[in-house]
Structure 1
Amino acid sequence: MSKNRSGVLIPCQNELGDDALQSWLLEGVSRTFALTIPRLPEGLAKPVSNAYLLCRIVDTIEDEVSLDNLQKRRFCQQFTRVVAGDDDPAALASELAPLLSAQTISAEHELIRLIPRVIAITHGFDAPQREALSECVRIMGTGMAEFQDRDLRYGVETLAEMNRYCYFVAGVVGEMLTRLFCHYSPEIAAHRERMMELAVSFGQGLQMTNILKDLWDDHARGVCWLPREIFDAAGFDLKHLKPHHNNPRFREGFVQLIGIAHAHLRNALEYTLLIPVHESGMREFCLWALGMAVLTLRKVNGNLDFSESSQVKITRASVKATILTTRVTRSSDTLLKLAFTLAGARLPMASTETARVGSQQV
């Protein structure tokens, strides 16, 4: 055992096997995924855990306050080459780790330090799995860098731009997971084309829910992901956005976005129902994320004057209720549809055409 820079005891990397190491890292950087990924079958849990850690490394680079935009691009490009097997993971870790600031959580410091171990796991997968992970990292890193130089204080210009951002940070993850699912199961692969389309929408529904929930946290750091065209049409200028505003024109635009997110989550349910009933763990993996997103949208929609994300964060009791409900309904498409309808009964919902998001060529 050793201590990190915060004085917390951490296991020596050589003391842990691959699965234990990834579980330990996941627990530090995402309790949600640390909870849901173990529901996946053995043949999927390991690559999905690794995939999330790779994506989190990209997020850590993009969010690091000590790096300028040129450095972020360079490190993302270098990491893309590392994942593809074209660059040295140890060299990246040794250069990047000392640059991380105290604002970056200790678990992410450890993740960056352990890049060589994480990549060694990546390179042990089958070729189709490695390709899925490498392509996801490439698109995510390139796409997120596209937004680094923008003035995002007053939102993005259009809904299409918001869709594009959501694709880079979430939709592409849905595509990657679908590739892993299809590699795992020929039965699932029979629905590959439709699932790839729905996966992008699934990702967007989850990301839009986070954008709406985190509105004021983002606003406090000078960032807004809301599309100006939606609010301009409602007669509200996002330059005037402030907590406790209580402006009905803003609420009109915000409710419209809730409806679009809700429609994407309905696509997420369709995606989940394409997974065979006997793959109960895979269904739970999707349903837990979907259920928690719907409940979050309900809280947002019921508290349109909220001024910080904690006011619309779902409770532990709601999380437990989601888990219990999915376990009861996971084997019945009819019950799942009913549960989803009841959960979202009071939510606005856009048309499926408005919510349709196709794969983007990057």
Structure 2
Amino acid sequence: MPNPSRAFLLGPLLKGVSRSFYLTLRVLPVGMRDPIGLAYLLARAADTIADTSLISPEQRLALLLSLREQVNGAAHDNALFQRMAAEVAVQQEQSDEKLLLESLGPAFEVLAQLSESDRNAVRGIVTTLTEGMEFDLRTFPDERSGQIAALREYSELDRYTYLVAGCVGEFWTTMTYAHMPGTLKEQPDTMQRRGVRFGKALQLTNVLRDCGKDLRIGRCYLPHSMLDRYGLSARDLLLPANSQRARPLMIELVRNTLDHFREALDYTLAIPALSVRLRLACLWPILIGLDTLLLLVNNDAWLDPAQVSKVRRNDVYKIIASSLLLVPSNALVRRSVETRIAQIEARF
């Protein structure tokens, strides 16, 4: 295939595989787009490898670890790229995902062209994200086995949400300090901590939204310790009729998620009102995440994979449009977020 250009990789290809994240990326200040966009592409390629259920978890893990080595500077292995194309890319129904896997060589060339600090940051975030994918492959059974495994303790779920999303908040914060010096007035350690919780808020929302679907591939992210307290097992959650019985467990996790979203709000309000692009990039996922939780707590069949609590695309566009009026005002941003939180808590 022709060698994809940097512009194509970080433009049409990124748009094709990132869906709504591309909207956030395009609104970012220019200097942040390339490292964040490239990190997303590499992580998405790794995720595609980890999720290709038509090849064994052992094969996926081997390819994932090889990809991580390449990201971290191992000599480029054309044979590896050929294996990925042969074993993974051919399994992809979506042409953009297939093209992404076939474009890893050029993506590594773009990585080499980044500044040393950006390159190290991209390597760090992709390494951590792939550790989360490795955790999935080592913890849960083959999707085709018919078995289910659950995490053990809440601390394990908390660690998992860091590996697959909380670390993104750290990376995002690092990029902001590097490319927009003087923008964030809070101390870096405060913003890093809030950034981690921002990411955890979004991932816990995903865990709850996708619970029914994940159970059907053998993955229960709701830990045994919590299930036991509510007299539930992972297999009980397979029955949509148990949605009401499991609602107290869902509510407890929603409370934890809202605590993380409050930190995400503080993170966003620490960005000066004049940094409109950066504020919007943070505000959109908060509003979409909270609207998802509102759908969830209003969903009497939240365990039914056919009734997923997902914000419709048209509603996403409405959130984006309305946010343009909110974003310059701390008071309006706070009111919009806290109103949503109050609506969710009113359903407890």
Shift of 1:276: 2.1
What is residue 145 of structure 1 aligned with on the other side?
134
Q: Which letter does structure 1 place at the counterpart of 2:107? A: V
Shift of 1:124: 1.2
CA distance 1:223–1:333, change in 2 (3 Å): same
1:306-342 Cα offsets, whole Å, 9 max, x none, are 3126541112332122112321111111111101011
2:218 to 191, 212, 222: 222
Shift of 1:217: 1.3
Could you tell me whether the CA contact under 8 Å between 1:154 and 1:228 is conserved in 2? no
State yes or no: 1:73 paired with 2:61.
yes
What is residue 159 of structure 1 aligned with on the other side?
154
CA distance 1:346–1:229, change in 2 (3 Å): farther
State yes or no: 1:134 paired with 2:123.
yes
- Per mean C-alpha deviation after superposition, the further-off stretch among 340-349 and 255-264 is 340-349
User: Distance in 2 between the 1:247 and 1:296 partners?
Assistant: 17
State yes or no: 1:95 paired with 2:83.
yes
User: Distance in 1 between the 2:218 and 2:75 partners?
Assistant: 35
User: Distance in 1 between the 2:190 and 2:300 partners?
Assistant: 34
What is residue 121 of structure 1 aligned with on the other side?
110
Could you tell me whether the CA contact under 8 Å between 2:166 and 2:199 is conserved in 1? yes
Could you tell me whether the CA contact under 8 Å between 2:154 and 2:226 is conserved in 1? yes
Question: What is the RMSD computed on CA atoms of the aligned residues?
Answer: 2.1
1:161-195 Cα offsets, whole Å, 9 max, x none, are 11111111111122112111111122146532111
Q: Following superposition of structure 1 onto structure 2, how do residues 1-362 of structure 1 map, counting pairs within 5 Å? A: 12-14=2-4, 17-88=5-76, 90-100=78-88, 101-103=90-92, 105-151=94-140, 153-188=148-183, 191-246=187-242, 248-306=244-302, 307-308=304-305, 310-348=307-345
Q: Which letter does structure 2 place at the counterpart of 1:273? A: L
Q: Which letter does structure 2 place at the counterpart of 1:278? A: L
- Per mean C-alpha deviation after superposition, the further-off stretch among 318-327 and 238-247 is 238-247
Q: Secondary structure at the match of 2:74?
A: coil
1:269-322 Cα offsets, whole Å, 9 max, x none, are 111112222211111111111111110000001113231265411123321221
1:36-73 Cα offsets, whole Å, 9 max, x none, are 11001111112211111011112112112244333333
Could you tell me whether the CA contact under 8 Å between 1:25 and 1:107 is conserved in 2? yes
User: Distance in 1 between the 2:309 and 2:273 partners?
Assistant: 32
Q: Which letter does structure 1 place at the counterpart of 2:99? A: E
User: Distance in 1 between the 2:54 and 2:149 partners?
Assistant: 24
Q: Secondary structure at the match of 2:335?
A: helix
Q: Which letter does structure 2 place at the counterpart of 1:52? A: Y
Identity %, equivalent residues: 28
- How many residues matched? 337
Shift of 1:266: 1.5
Could you tell me whether the CA contact under 8 Å between 1:201 and 1:267 is conserved in 2? yes
What is residue 9 of structure 1 aligned with on the other side?
none
- Per mean C-alpha deviation after superposition, the further-off stretch among 78-87 and 298-307 is 78-87
CA distance 1:256–1:302, change in 2 (3 Å): same
User: Distance in 2 between the 1:119 and 1:279 partners?
Assistant: 31
- Segments of structure 2 that go 5 or more residues without pairing to the other structure are 142-147
Could you tell me whether the CA contact under 8 Å between 1:206 and 1:293 is conserved in 2? yes
1:88-117 Cα offsets, whole Å, 9 max, x none, are 053431221110153553221111110011
